[in-house]
Structure 1
Amino acid sequence: MDERTCDVAVIGAGTAGLAAYRAATEAGASAVLIERGPGGTTCARVGCMPSKLLIAAAKAAHAARNTDLFGIRVAGVAVDGRAVLARVRAERDRFVGGVFEGVEALPEAARIAGSARFQDRTSLTVGDHTRIAFRAAVIATGSSPTVPKPLRGLGDRLLTTDTLFEIPDLPESLAVLGAGAVGIEIAQAMTRLGVRVTVIDSGDTVAGLSDPDLARQAAALFGAELALHLGAKLESATREGNGVCLSWTDGEGRARETRADKVLAATGRSPNLDDLGLDAAGLSLDEDGMPDFDYRSLVCAGAPILIAGDADAWRPVLHEASRQGRIAGTNAAARAAGRAVETPEPWTRLAMVFTDPQVAVIGVPYEADAADRVTGAVGGAAQGRARVDGANQGGLRIWAGRDGTLMGAEMLGPAVEHLAHLLTHAIGDGKTARAVLDQPIYHPTVEEGFSTALSEITHSTCQS
């Protein structure tokens, strides 16, 4: 067995792992990067990018079918499912190829292929070929789709985001379990590409929204395009003919059945931690096998080991994984050198859903009747630019402290991916509603919707 020694061992060459390796070496540490495969990052390979490629195709089909509002007549719109998925895979492979090129540009001696397993708090093995003694380690092993127990016997009729984009053609029908970000994005895209879709979720909201009014609007908007069942419980799933049969109970306790060609499990992802030997590393683990770690420094309790990205399940989105990787790599190098670690404040929370209309959840979570805040709201129906574009749906809720300092928001509407960034940065900078109102907003833009909501906040704070 090859015996190696390094300052920092990074397990996983995804978004967080690559950022951790680079930060550690930039801090002067000797580091190795361990990857068991398939690599290419979750985002590029099975997450953000292929799903957005599917959404882009669905957007084109939907736009072509809905031009009458503008006096434009388009006839004979047809969806070539094989061509749609071929482009998804081709562009996906290009994104993944770019990641691999970046990995291959790293020193060959620093890249080790295989599955890592801790032997104790300062050493690990990779497969049966390498033993590494380290001064600090970073766990950046990513996550895998969670498959609810009733779905596990469906074989190739079960899809996850790891397999969805490999199917050769669009199914005629699809059942989606989960109405969160991934589930509702894929469900709406498939619907607009001509697939008959049913979505089943045990919760009472969709797309991660908490504000009751926005959640109701979202359920109505998405439910107008596809069969959306909230408050439902999946009882069983069986193979039937060439498809599947799902038995479930609706929100009123009635037994229901759904038949579809395929079923997509979109109920979240779980950290890839099971095979790492965390007990041997001396980490303090909870009942689910998750290590106890500080969410600011990312240092785990019990050993010189840090955790970053989807592996820690704290904020499993790419921009957070990249930042956590940098923090973990920098702090791992510090631990290896006997220096103090950094404890930066977390970024303002930002989560988006790329449906139509889009959704964003920002900052401090929604709380009904919170005494420490005031809320400004605006509906999307009358918003000028949105109405021009025929996209006047949804609304915006912003909450602030009693002194007007912005705290959080939820959005449902057009151009939310851009609006959300503006508000996230304002919250991160500690700005008040008045300070944002004092900045120019060009007319006519959807950003003008901010003015109404922010004016409500400033009026309320002046009255209190």
Structure 2
Amino acid sequence: SKALIHAARRFQTVREHLEPWDELTREAFKKAMQAVTASINEVEADHDNDAYYQAKGITVYHSKADFSGQRQITLGDGTILTGKRFIIATGSKPLIPKIEGLNDVAFLTNETIFKLTDRPASLLVIGGGPIGCELGQAMAMFGVQVTIISQDDRLLPRDEPEASAALRASLETYTNVRLIFNAKITSVESANGITVHYSVGDTTDQVATEQLLIATGRAANTNLSLETAAIDYTDRIIVTNDRLQTTNKYIYAIGDVMGGPNFTHVAGDQAIQATQNALLGRGRAKRPLDELSWATFTTPEIAHLGADEASLQKAKTEYTAHTIDFKTIDKAVADQEKGQIKVLADGKGLILGATIIGGPAAEMMGVLALAKHQGLKLTALGGVLQAYPTYAFGVKAFAGGLSLSQFERGPKRRVVNVLRKITLR
């Protein structure tokens, strides 16, 4: 998906100057899909193939597998494999909602949309989360008429409200994007293309579309005869403890299959933890969620770290929200990027959470994530010598400005005001 988003962003920067742009977007879409395929092939050729793992002494089997004992699995051809420890990393699949008529239409998911070769005239997206927003906006950048229908009252409901509002404002500048909130999909029919019926409150309506994308979340791949190995699970996840062990102490589970959070970087981190626990006997607990960061690669790009304001308020945790607008960051001004940085800090100045909207938000968040992981105060970032002009320098200036704020009411406030004008760029 990131390869498609990259291509869409590049095309978006030039398409307004192209005539006739509709025909050119069709050709650009084809090339973008070819680029996606090329990216996948490159990854597979480099490090996602049998030879790569075999060279590291790893035996690879391509087969369905089921547990046939407490420490035993049976492959599809009858081969039985035993081991002292197992790690389940079967990931997840698109969660398909139960909607009348949905199974009678050829809908897309985030796994199949990249098989498109021709640009569709229209696309309806069910789901206003990261996948729906990323792919919906990317398709809109190629001139597709996009409708996003969400059951929530805003996009990206896991993110801060201002992040949702910024993305909504961006999407509403597109003449070919329609957003529908608080909606319940009632049925789907395939007559004359695809028609989606929905209701918002007491009002019913319908939308006709050429393609339908289901982006309503993920469900764990648990069809492994887990009960045979005494592993507890639900219809969504495998149950684990804080050391990633299942209810069978010899078997661990990581990533999407144990409830996530559903991110590649989380699964990779858990893989290291589970391997150390299983093979080295370490009792390393999984990383606390307050260190979790994620990014949504829309325009504007949105990154999140740790807690949000709602969760802190619910927990009655005292905090201060520090915010800076991108217009005070020279690099953002030069790039004509709009956005903001918001950091939530406790009374000691330690970072509890953060949200960045705009620019290379995901890359910028790495600075704050490192500071949080190391237990640094936010103001400590003001002492880092960052290159200028960069977005990282903007984070430094932001933190430096907070360091100066402690003197605002003292006898040195005039000097502080001068320094603030110099620092906050």
Q: Same fold judged by TM-score > 0.5?
A: yes
What is the SS of the residue equivalent to 2:99? Answer: helix
Mapped to 2, the partners of 1:440 and 1:231 lie a distance apart of 47
Amino acid aligned to 2:342: R
Q: Show the counterpart of 1:247.
A: 197
> Any unmatched runs of 5+ in structure 2?
409-425
Q: Show the counterpart of 2:272.
A: 326
Q: How many correspondences in the alignment? A: 397
Within the candidate set 342, 357, 362, 1:417 is matched to 362
2:147 corresponds to 1:198: yes
Mapped to 2, the partners of 1:430 and 1:406 lie a distance apart of 8
Within the candidate set 220, 229, 250, 1:281 is matched to 229
Structure 1 residues 260 and 434, CA, compared in 2 at 3 Å: closer, same or farther?
same
Q: What is the CA distance between 1:209 and its match in structure 2? A: 5.1
2:279 corresponds to 1:352: no
Q: Show the counterpart of 1:236.
A: 187
Amino acid aligned to 2:199: T
Q: What is the CA distance between 1:211 and its match in structure 2? A: 2.4
Q: What is the CA distance between 1:388 and its match in structure 2? A: 1.9
Identity of aligned residues (%): 24
What is the SS of the residue equivalent to 1:150? Answer: coil
Within the candidate set 234, 254, 262, 1:308 is matched to 254
What is the SS of the residue equivalent to 1:135? Answer: coil
**Where does 1:101-140 land on structure 2 (aligned, <5 Å)?**
101-107=51-57, 110-140=59-89
Within the candidate set 108, 126, 132, 1:183 is matched to 132
When the two chains are superposed, the root-mean-square deviation of aligned CA atoms in Å is 2.6
- Post-superposition CA distance 1:291-327 (Å, at most 9, x none): 32123x2111234110012221222212221221122
Would you say the 8 A contact 2:367–2:392 is kept in 1? no
What is the SS of the residue equivalent to 2:148? Answer: strand
Structure 1 residues 105 and 410, CA, compared in 2 at 3 Å: closer, same or farther?
same
Q: Show the counterpart of 1:362.
A: 305
Mapped to 1, the partners of 2:300 and 2:327 lie a distance apart of 12
Q: What is the CA distance between 1:433 and its match in structure 2? A: 1.6
What is the SS of the residue equivalent to 1:112? Answer: coil
**Where does 1:29-178 land on structure 2 (aligned, <5 Å)?**
51-65=1-15, 75-77=19-21, 78-79=24-25, 80=27, 81-98=29-46, 99-100=48-49, 101-107=51-57, 110-150=59-99, 153-155=102-104, 157-178=106-127
TM-score, reference length from structure 2: 0.85
What is the SS of the residue equivalent to 1:270? Answer: strand
Structure 1 residues 151 and 447, CA, compared in 2 at 3 Å: closer, same or farther?
farther
- Post-superposition CA distance 1:137-194 (Å, at most 9, x none): 1111111111111276355630011211112211110001112111111111100111
Structure 1 residues 282 and 227, CA, compared in 2 at 3 Å: closer, same or farther?
same
Q: What is the CA distance between 1:268 and its match in structure 2? A: 1.4
What is the SS of the residue equivalent to 1:194? Answer: coil
Mapped to 2, the partners of 1:462 and 1:121 lie a distance apart of 64
Q: Show the counterpart of 1:373.
A: 319
TM-score, reference length from structure 1: 0.78
Q: What is the CA distance between 1:63 and its match in structure 2? A: 0.6
Q: Show the counterpart of 1:31.
A: none
Q: What is the CA distance between 1:446 and its match in structure 2? A: 2.8
Mapped to 1, the partners of 2:251 and 2:199 lie a distance apart of 44
Q: Show the counterpart of 2:383.
A: 438
Normalized per residue, the structure richer in strand is 1
Deviates more, 1:309-318 or 1:451-460: 451-460
Amino acid aligned to 2:185: L
- Post-superposition CA distance 1:204-238 (Å, at most 9, x none): 23235532233222221123222122222212111
Q: Show the counterpart of 2:413.
A: none
Deviates more, 1:188-197 or 1:90-99: 90-99
- Post-superposition CA distance 1:407-438 (Å, at most 9, x none): 21011111112101111111111110221122
2:240 corresponds to 1:293: yes
Would you say the 8 A contact 1:142–1:311 is kept in 2? yes
Mapped to 2, the partners of 1:316 and 1:462 lie a distance apart of 44
Mapped to 2, the partners of 1:171 and 1:454 lie a distance apart of 46
Q: What is the CA distance between 1:461 and its match in structure 2? A: 7.8
Amino acid aligned to 2:262: P
Structure 1 residues 57 and 210, CA, compared in 2 at 3 Å: closer, same or farther?
closer
Q: Show the counterpart of 1:343.
A: 285
Mapped to 2, the partners of 1:344 and 1:192 lie a distance apart of 39
Would you say the 8 A contact 2:220–2:236 is kept in 1? no
- Post-superposition CA distance 1:217-269 (Å, at most 9, x none): 2221123222122222212111121x21111123x542221111011011111
Mapped to 2, the partners of 1:459 and 1:300 lie a distance apart of 50
Would you say the 8 A contact 2:379–2:399 is kept in 1? yes
What is the SS of the residue equivalent to 1:240? Answer: coil
Would you say the 8 A contact 1:116–1:126 is kept in 2? yes
**Where does 1:208-219 land on structure 2 (aligned, <5 Å)?**
208=157, 210-219=159-168
